[in-house]
Amino acid sequence: MKNVFKRCMSLLLLFDKYSSGIDTTIIKDNILQYRDLSDSAFHRSFERDKDVLRKLGFEINYINDKWELNSGYEISGVEIWKSIKNDKEVDSLNFLTTYLYLKKIITIDNDSFLLRDKENFFNIQKAINQKLRISFIYKNIKRIVYPYSFKLYKDVWYLCAIDQDKPKTYIVNDISELRIGNKKHSKNLDLNVLPTNFSWDENSELFKVTLELDSIRPYYIYRESFIHKLISIKNIDKNIKLQIETSDQLGLKNFLILTASHLIDIETNKQIYIESIANEFK
Amino acid sequence: MNSNNNKFKLILDFIELVKEKSEWDIDQLCSLLKINQDDFDYVINTLSEMYISNDFDLFLDIEVDNEKVKVFINEIATSTHLITDSDLLSMYKILLDANIDSLEAYIDSEYLITFKETIDKYIPTKIDKIESIQINDFNLFEGEDITIDYSPLGTTSSYNYQIKPVSIVNNREGVALYAIDINANKTKTFLINRIINISTEILDNPNINKSSGSKEYEFRFTYRNEHVPLGELKEDDIKINKDNTCSVTFRNELIALEFYKLNIYKIKAVDNSAFDKEINSSLKRVIKLINK
């Protein structure tokens, strides 16, 4: 296995030496363990090493440049750490020891990230940082958008972007044929001002709900099934009364089904809610 | 991740640390990397061999002297970045999934905040805040035995478990505390968001969960619209049957029912009158209470 480490480490160092794409001749000439291999043996070995590196989070892909100036293999997947190292305001040693401390306690595997196509995510992230427009196919339609944020909701990563002057959300896993523009845009995409509510959220209609439950436990256990603001919590004899505000209609419906056997009373400000709760899963 | 990849990752983490600071106490380095002396020797030997085999640039020079290690790295290796976005974002997602406020009961908040705030700078992510209830502040990784009041999946009842925390893991059911159940003398996982209370008191007459022997339950369903993610379930956990229905095996029927309720707007049970009856009864109760 040490030979694989050596080749992979050499690949990482080699890619760092070149700012644009490199071809297989350069790779073969520069890495001792590849040099004496036949072409087919080199390609097999290179593909295996690329796969090892991919599993560790390094993506090596062939980039086609239509002018044939920068075509070749490029490496990606370390943008965040690179940015941290280049940021003079961040103490990179402190961050690294913090990360390693957390890694001692929290067991992570790359599947935790839950994205089928990590390359899309990292390319969009790059486009956000560099203020570039992107295009992609989503639900069979080509979209050209200004990306400004990600949103993580119930284990799904969403992209928030301006599409024809309207803020919209897209499931990152469902984005295909992603292309990144090459000119900086000048749109003001202030994350503190722009909304990240879902496109279907209809301007986040707010529900005010008062719930009486036979104990706090069902609320505590299922509270993360919906996004909400807890306004107040009161003991009423043995029961508890919760005042909640939420725009997450779907999550609220789930919560009510989950806690139904503990519910004593429900008051909502929306009568129409009764119809939607029943009709949606007939 | 397999163990060979873990070894390689360990070597990459080691290189990143020595790039930041060339001289380290070996003990401190081992503690940060969570390794013992044998692992440390393995890292040093592997890196020494890498140096010898690498012919396009001098890569590194290592001096081990009693309790200290000095590593000098050339310019090319110094500018190479070896901590991947996947690693950082997997950690970041676990912190967001578990809700940082809830994790503060287990991990020093300074570490959680430093990590989250730094990543926030580079990944513009909006988080919809979920209300959390504060649990007493404990740092559980100091080796102390504790008692938790825990509500297992599939039920809203809770039981006491005397445990020794080992680590935090992310399994298919969510972010969990991996710990030794002292009474059962085996390791178990306890979902963070279902731990109702934590105490350092060892109870004389704890309310122990006696229903440990439960039968596995295969739940069959179809998707209501398109295939969408179902919580922490991975594609490999879902079996596609010949009739195009899907199946997932749960530890018991109650867990399967709770999973169904959590995903009721995404999936529909197939030929399951018991679950349909339960859902209808919950639905009728909710509608009756709203209508009253």
Quote the pLDDT of residue B215.
85
Quote the pLDDT of residue B210.
58
Contacts of residue B139, defined as CB under 8 A and 6 or more positions apart, other chains included, come to B106, B107, B108
Query: With an 8 Å Cβ cutoff, are B131 and A229 in contact?
Result: yes
Instruction: Mutate one of A2, A89, A106 to test the B interface: name it (highest B CB count within 10 A).
Output: A106
Residue ranges, CATH 1.10.10, chain A = 2-75
Domains of chain B and CATH, by start:
3-79 (1.10.10.10), 86-199 (no CATH), 217-291 (no CATH)
Residue ranges, CATH 3.30.70.1710, chain A = 207-279
Answer yes or no: is pLDDT of B152 > 50.
Answer: yes
H or E stretch including B267?
strand B267-269
User: Which CATH number does A109-201 carry?
Assistant: 2.30.30
Does the structure's ipTM exceed the value 0.95? no
Quote the pLDDT of residue B198.
82
Answer yes or no: is pLDDT of B254 > 80.
Answer: yes
CA distances from A83 to A91, A110, A119, A176, B203 (A): 12, 21, 17, 26, 50
Quote the pLDDT of residue B1.
43
Average pLDDT (A84-91) is 90
H or E stretch including A207?
strand A207-213
Answer yes or no: is pLDDT of A275 > 80.
Answer: no
Burial of B189 (0-12, 13-18, 19+ CB in 10 A): middle
Chain A partners within 8 Å of B34 (Cβ): 100, 103-104
pLDDT digits (tens, 9 = 90+) for B26-81: 999 999 998 999 999 999 988 887 765 555 555 678 888 888 999 888 777 788 88
**Contacting B residues, span 9-48, partner chain A, CB-CB under 8 Å:** 9, 11-13, 16-17, 20-21, 32-34, 46
pLDDT digits (tens, 9 = 90+) for A215-228: 888 888 888 788 78
Answer yes or no: is pLDDT of B184 > 80.
Answer: yes
Residue ranges, CATH 2.30.30, chain A = 109-201
What is the residue-wise DSSP string for A128-162?
HHTTEEEEEEETTEEEEEEEEEEEEETTEEEEEEE
Q: Which of A117-126, A197-206, B16-25, B68-77 is modeled with the greatest confidence?
A: B16-25
Chain B contact present for A225, CB below 8 A: yes
Q: Which of A18-22, A185-189, B268-272 is modeled with the greatest confidence?
A: B268-272
Answer yes or no: is pLDDT of A154 > 80.
Answer: no
Mean pLDDT, chain B, integer: 82
Answer yes or no: is pLDDT of A79 > 70.
Answer: yes
Instruction: Mutate one of B83, B263, B277 to test the A interface: name it (highest A CB count within 10 A).
Output: B83
Q: Point out the least confidently predicted range of A164-168, A271-275, B158-162, B172-176.
A: A271-275
Quote the pLDDT of residue A202.
46
Q: What does the DSSP 8-state code read for residue B237?
A: G
pLDDT digits (tens, 9 = 90+) for A249-270: 778 888 999 999 999 998 887 6
Q: How far is B77 from chain A (nearest CA, A)?
A: 6
- Structure tokens belonging to residue B240: 């596609």
- CATH top-level class of A207-279: alpha beta
Quote the pLDDT of residue A100.
93
Reference A124, options A159, A164, A73, A80; nearest CA is A159
Reference B167, options B253, B221, B236, B94; nearest CA is B94
Quote the pLDDT of residue B65.
86
Answer yes or no: is pLDDT of B199 > 90.
Answer: no
List the A207-213 sheet strands across, edge first.
A229-236, A239-246, A207-213, A263-268
Average pLDDT (B78-86) is 87
Answer yes or no: is pLDDT of B248 > 80.
Answer: yes
Reference B104, options A166, B95, A247, B14; nearest CA is B95
Chain B partners within 8 Å of A250 (Cβ): 265
Chain B contact present for A217, CB below 8 A: yes
CA dihedral angle for residue B112, residue A76, residue B232, residue B215, rounded to 10 degrees: -110
Quote the pLDDT of residue B217.
92
Average pLDDT (A63-75) is 68
- What angle in degrees, to the nearest 10, is found between the helix axes of B85-98 and A79-86? 90
Considering only the beta carbons, identify the residue of B59, B76, B90 that sits closest to A112: B90
Give the up-direction half-sphere exposure of residue A17: CA atoms within 13 A in the CB hemisphere. 17
Answer yes or no: is pLDDT of B83 > 60.
Answer: yes
A2-75 placed in CATH 3.30.420: no
Cα–Cα dist A120/A175, whole Å: 8
Quote the pLDDT of residue A14.
86
Query: With an 8 Å Cβ cutoff, are A228 and B131 in contact?
Result: yes
Answer yes or no: is pLDDT of B112 > 50.
Answer: yes
